[in-house]
Amino acid sequence: MTTITWTVEVDADPDTTGEFVIGSSLLGGSDVLSADERWVDVGPVVRQISIRRGRRDESRFYSTGVCTVELENVTEDFDTDNPYGHYVMGPEKLLHPGTGLRTIATVGGGGSSTTFAGILDKPKVVEDEFFPVAIFSCVDWMAALGTTDVPDLGFVQGAGESSSARANWLLDLADVPTAQRNVAASGRNVLGTTGGEKVRVGLERVAAGEGGRFYVDRTGDVTLTWHDAEYGKTADLLFTNIGTSFTEYAAIETSPGVEGVINTATVHRVAPRLRNEETGQFVDSAVIPDVGAVDSGSVALYGARPVAVETVLESDSDAESLANYLAVRRSVPTSRVTKLRLPPLEQLSVGDAEFVLLLDIGSAVAVRRRTLTGRDQTWLAIVEGIEIDARPTRTDVTLMTAPADTASVFGSAGWFIIGTSLLGGADVLAPF
């Protein structure tokens, strides 16, 4: 049986990267600059950890990541008003809203993986006569990005700049450290902005224009990908209910193919505002037309199944490519895995448990199922949401997934759908 040990750490000193340690040098007690003891382990008092990240449905945007940590509080060290608690440092309380917190899982005494990194949002102490606990709710960067305003600039900012430049400008407004960014947008040009929105909205529009993802990863980094970066993904893990040679799953949920058909797309572009030279007031600029695309063959068979996105793409050709991609990528029905529930990780091998904890939003997995009639099916899916519920002796993980997207619009041909051909179950290459 695999052992998984959970550690919760709080950020004791978020503002510095090093500090002078006075009189501690081995060379006669001179002052030296040493690494800062920034992260502090709260100790062996963790009762339960609950993590929710990503999304649960087909929507394009991700929710704020949330982590709830429940700690034993018999000694009252976690009382926020206890001046003698272990987590009060000088005049500042360590455990207060805004304090950094992260959770780390160590598998079998070996590799460790950060599973959540964010900030303390709502501390609460539950006074129980027999077993008092402290409960800390934490959120990731998505929360701050969703409440940070883009100021009304009074001019058009960045018209024609690359999407990656726009993303970094928005992240600068939110004071996201460079070390906590992973911006990999392709560089498509975007319309100008005059502000007056939230940073998160601006980043979501950039990601939508790239056909990519905007999310916060398990280590706390704000991440933006573009569609082309998703091509050629291979499965990080193969989950199966066939034997024990691969990672086993406890249950899967699928949805019928027609439910997931999308064959009609509309791309709305946000127009910049320009200053009227005579009045000095801002007015709406010339209307930038919407761009649409339709897979007529799919519409004839299944009816119109629309999707609409709002982006900041400047180029008509980029908008047309995006609309075509959205209309075609899921215009053919096929059943899909929407949720994958795993056995307790303690029942998996050390290697499998480690790999599961390393999965993140955007990770590719393969799911293989043998039906009661003996037919094999295999799906390639992308992780879109992660749920982790951890207790001292049991760690449950559920993955929300969506089909991997075809690259056919931008130059590839699709992928193999294994065992689904009507011609006897042979493997066929098909668009999705």
DSSP per position, 323-359? HHHHHHTB-S---EEEEEEPPPGGGS-HHHHHHHHH-
DSSP letter at 96 equals S
Residues 288-317: tens digit of each pLDDT: 889 999 999 999 999 999 999 999 999 999
- Which residues, in sequence order, are bridge partners of residue 87? none
Q: Which numeric CATH code is attached to 4-139?
A: 2.40.10
pLDDT band at 14 (very low <50, low <70, confident <90, very high): low
Which strand (E) or helix (H) includes residue 172?
helix 163-173
Q: Look at residue 195 in the predicted model and tell me its pLDDT.
A: 85
Residues 92-106: tens digit of each pLDDT: 667 778 889 999 999
Residues 343-392: tens digit of each pLDDT: 999 999 898 999 999 999 999 999 988 878 878 888 888 899 999 999 98
According to DSSP, the β-strands at 336-341 and 251-255 are antiparallel
Q: Look at residue 40 in the predicted model and tell me its pLDDT.
A: 85
Residues 35-84: tens digit of each pLDDT: 445 788 888 889 999 999 998 655 568 999 999 999 998 888 888 777 77
> Could you give the CA distance from residue 188 to residue 313 in angstroms, rounded to a whole number?
7
319-350 core/surface letters (b: 16 or more CB in 10 A; e: else): bebbbbbbbbbbbbbbbbbbbbebebbbebeb
Domain 231-254+337-430 has CATH 1.10.20: no
Fold assignment, 146-229 = Phage tail protein beta-alpha-beta fold (3.55.50)
In the chain, where are the structural domains located?
4-139, 146-229, 231-254+337-430, 260-328
